[in-house]
Chains A and B, each alone.
Chain A
Amino acid sequence: MNDPATRSQVLRVPALSRVEGETALHLRVHEGTVEEARLNIYEAPRFFEAFLRGRSHTEPPDLTSRICGICPIAYQLSACRALEDVCGVVVDGQLAALRRLLYCGEWIESQTLHIHLLHAPDFLGHDDVIGMSRFHPAHVERGLRLKQTGNAVVELLGGRAIHPVNVRLGGFHRTPTRAELRPLAERLRTALDDARDTLRWVAGFDFPDAECDADLLALTEPGTYAIESGTPAVLPYDRALPRRGFPLGDFSEHVTEEQVPHSTALHSRLDGRRHLTGSLARYALNGHLLSPTALEAAREAGLGAPPLTSETEDGRPGEVCRNPYRSILVRAVEVLYAVEEALRIISVYERPARPYVEAPARAGIGHGATEAPRGLLYHRYALDGEGRVTDARIVPPTAQNQGAIEEDLRRLVQAGLDRGEDSEDELTRLCERAVRNHDPCISCSAHFLELDIVRTPGPV
C-alpha cells in the first residue's frame, strides 16, 4: 500500500491470529479512502440448526455446546433456558444459583484467557503470550493461575472445562455437596487477589482513543448483573434516544439477519442499526448492579461510573465507555465480579433436594438467552408434541458484533491512512488489534460463513 492517494489497493490478512476460529480481513482502499472493510469468516459450515431438527428436546444442551469449545456453558445454558421455556419449567433457588456459579467459572476462565493470552500481547508489543512471558512472567503466571481457577469451577460442576457433561434440562445430573465446594472457595479467595492485580495491570496499558458507533445490547435482570438469564435492553448510540427494552420472545423481530450485497456473510442488525454486545454493552447497561468492590475497582482502573449510577463523586453523571480498546478493562472488572459472585454463591449454598426439575416436553416455541463472555447468545426452539425439535435458531454474539467490528476497522484504517500510516504491516497490525478488541469467537459464527473473497480493486 505504497501510494494510497493515487491507487486502489486491497489489503488482505489471510488468517487472523489470536482469535478463536478462522477469519480473514478484507479491506479495499481507493484514493486514500477506505471503501470497504470486512471480516471474511471462512469457518466451515457445520449445520447445527439443520441437524438439531428431529433430535429429542433433551439433546440440544450437549449438542450445541459443540458449536464452541471456548464458551460451552453459554450454549448449554441458553439451550436449557429456551427448552425450559417451551416446557413451562422454571429453574430457581439453589439450582439457579449453581448455574450462575458454573457460568461464573466460564466467565473467569474465558475472559482471563482473552485478557492474558489473546489481548494483552497487543498492548505490550508481543506476538504471543509465550513471547510476553519472557518479559512479564509474573503477569502471565497469574493469568494462567486465574484461568485455571475458572476452569476448576467448571470442572467441578460440569466434569470438564470443555463441553462439560453435567448440565441438563431442568438443572444438573448431579449437584455438589457443600464440602465439595469448599476447596473451590479457597482457590477463589486467591483468585480475588489475582483478579484485582490483573485489573491494576491492564489499567496501566496505553489506550488509543476510539469510539464504537453502535447501539449496545445486553440482557438485564432486576437487582443483579445479568449473566445466566435476563431480558434484552438497548442503550442507543444517539444520546438523545432513551434506553429501551423488549421481551426475549420478540428477539427475532428486533435482531434481524441481513444479507448485504457485497458479501455472503449475514449481518445482524438491531432495529436497523449496527449493534454491539459483550463486556462494553453489559457494563454500560448493568454496571450499576456490580458489587461495590467491583465498581470501586473499576473506577480506580479509570473506567467512568456506569450511566445509571446517579452521580460520581465529583458530581458528574456516569459515562458510557465505548472505546473498544478499553474493553480489556471491563473484562478484568467482570473477572473480579465473577470471582466475588462465585464466592458469594458458595457461601450460601445448600445442596438442593433434587439435582433437576423434570421438564416434560410439550409442543411450542421457546426462547432463551444468556450472556456469553463475548455477549448475548440467543436460542429459539420449536418442539412438537413428542418433544422433537422441529426448528432451531441460534444467534451468537460474534455474528451480532460483526457489523460494529467492520465499522471499527473502517474508521481505524481511515484514521491510520490520514496519519500517513499506510504500510501494509502497519495497517495489518491496526486491524488485527481492532478485531481482537472485540474478542470475537469465530467458531460460534460458523453459520455466517463467507467464502467468496472479492479481490476486485476499485477503479483506478
Chain B
Amino acid sequence: MSVPTTSRPPSRPRLGVFKFASCDGCQLTLLDCEDELLGIADALEIAHFLEASGDPAPGPYDLSLVEGSVSTPEHVERLRRIRAESRHLVTIGACATAGGVQALRNYADVGEYLAAVYARPDYIETLATSTPISAHVPVDFELRGCPIDRGQLVEVITAFLAGRKPGIPNHAVCFACKRRGNVCVTVAHGTPCLGPVTHAGCGALCPTYGRGCYGCFGPAGTTNLPALVPLMHRDGMGDEDIDRFLHTFNVTAFTAVEEEGPG
C-alpha cells in the first residue's frame, strides 16, 4: 500500500499469498474476483502478494493462502517459515492440496525426467517428489480445484475473516450436475466421467459442455471408486486409460482413495 488512509480500521487482518510449484492460476483467481477485489482489499491488508503488489510486507499473517506443491529443497524451508508466521494457513488448488499435475514425477524416474527436459540436469535442484503442503506442515483448510473456483475462494476468505468454518460442501460433482439440470453424459452417451467420485466446486462444468468430468477437483469426501471402474470399462476404457484418467491433475489424491477403498 503506497499511501495510508485514515478511513480504514488501523489493524485489518493481514493476508499473505504464497506460491510454490504451480501455474499461478489459483492466485490469479483472486485477481479474477473483479467485483470483490477492491472490497477484499478494504477488508484485509494484502500484506504479501507478489503477483499483484510491489511492496511485500513481512509476517505475521492472519490468513495465508498457499498455492503450489513442494518440489524443491528450498520449498520445504520456505514453507516452514510461512507456517510459523501464519495464524491460519489455507491451501488453494490441486498443486497445494494434492501435489498437482507435476506429481506425475512421483511415479517416474526423476533423473530420467531431468535428462529429458534439461541440457544440464546436474544444475537443477529438485526433489524426487511433488507433495502437497499438508505433507510438510499443518494446514487449516484445503481448497480444491485445478484451478480453484472463484466463489469458493471468496467463501473461504469470508469464513476465515468471520472466524467460522468455510461452507464448502464435500459432495461429488454429480450433485452439481443434477442441480444444473444436465443430462448424465455417462448414462445418456456412454461418456466416461469422474463426476461420481470428484469433489464438487466447479459447477459440473465438463458435463455441461458435453464431456466427462476429468477430476480436476480431486476426490469427493465419500466415494466408491471401485464401483466406477466397471462403468469406465463398459464405456471403452482399458485399465491403462483409467489409470491415466485418474492420475492427472490430482495424481496422488485418487491413488490414496484407491488404496483406502470405498470411503
Chain A contacts to B: CB under 8 angstroms:
15-22, 42-51, 53, 55-56, 59, 62-63, 66-70, 72, 113, 117-118, 121, 125-135, 140-141, 144-145, 147-148, 151, 159-163, 165-166, 168, 172-174, 257, 259, 264, 266, 355, 432, 441, 443, 446-447, 449-452
* Most chain B CB atoms below 10 A, which of A16, A50, A133, A135: A50
CB distance A162 to B32 under 8 Å?
Answer: yes
Q: How far is the CA of A238 from the CA of B148 in the complex (A)?
A: 47
Which residues does chain A contribute within 8 Å of B117, judged by CB atoms?
45, 47-50, 447
Q: A63-B101, A126-B2 are in contact. List 13 more A-B contacts (CB 8 A).
A: A15-B50, A17-B54, A50-B117, A51-B113, A69-B24, A128-B49, A128-B52, A141-B38, A144-B34, A147-B32, A151-B32, A165-B205, A266-B118
Q: How far is the CA of A249 from the CA of B170 in the complex (A)?
A: 48
Q: How far is the CA of A254 from the CA of B211 in the complex (A)?
A: 39
Q: How far is the CA of A47 from the CA of B5 in the complex (A)?
A: 45
B61 at the interface (CB under 8 A from A): no
Q: How far is the CA of A355 from the CA of B104 in the complex (A)?
A: 31
Shortest beta-carbon distance, B168 to chain A, in Å? Answer: 17
Nearest opposing residue in chain B for A147, CB measure: B34
Which residues does chain B contribute within 8 Å of A432, judged by CB atoms?
54
Nearest opposing residue in chain A for B26, CB measure: A69
CB distance A264 to B124 under 8 Å?
Answer: yes
Say yes or no: A18-B32 contact (C-beta < 8 A), given A50-B108, A51-B108, A68-B23.
no
Residue total for B at the interface (Cβ-Cβ under 8 A):
70
B134 at the interface (CB under 8 A from A): no
Say yes or no: A51-B34 contact (C-beta < 8 A), given A15-B50, A69-B26, A451-B125.
no
Which residues does chain B contribute within 8 Å of A69, judged by CB atoms?
22-26, 28, 147
CB distance A44 to B105 under 8 Å?
Answer: no
* Most chain A CB atoms below 10 A, which of B23, B206, B249: B23
Q: Can you pick out 18 interface pairs between chain A and chain B where the beta carbons lie within 8 Å of each other?
A: A20-B28, A20-B51, A47-B116, A48-B117, A59-B244, A127-B53, A130-B53, A135-B3, A144-B35, A151-B32, A159-B208, A163-B146, A163-B147, A163-B216, A173-B209, A174-B209, A264-B123, A451-B125
B19 at the interface (CB under 8 A from A): yes
CB distance B209 to A166 under 8 Å?
Answer: yes
Which residues does chain B contribute within 8 Å of A117, judged by CB atoms?
31, 52
Give the contacts of B5-36 with A (CB-CB under 8 A). Answer: 5, 19-26, 28-29, 31-32, 34-35
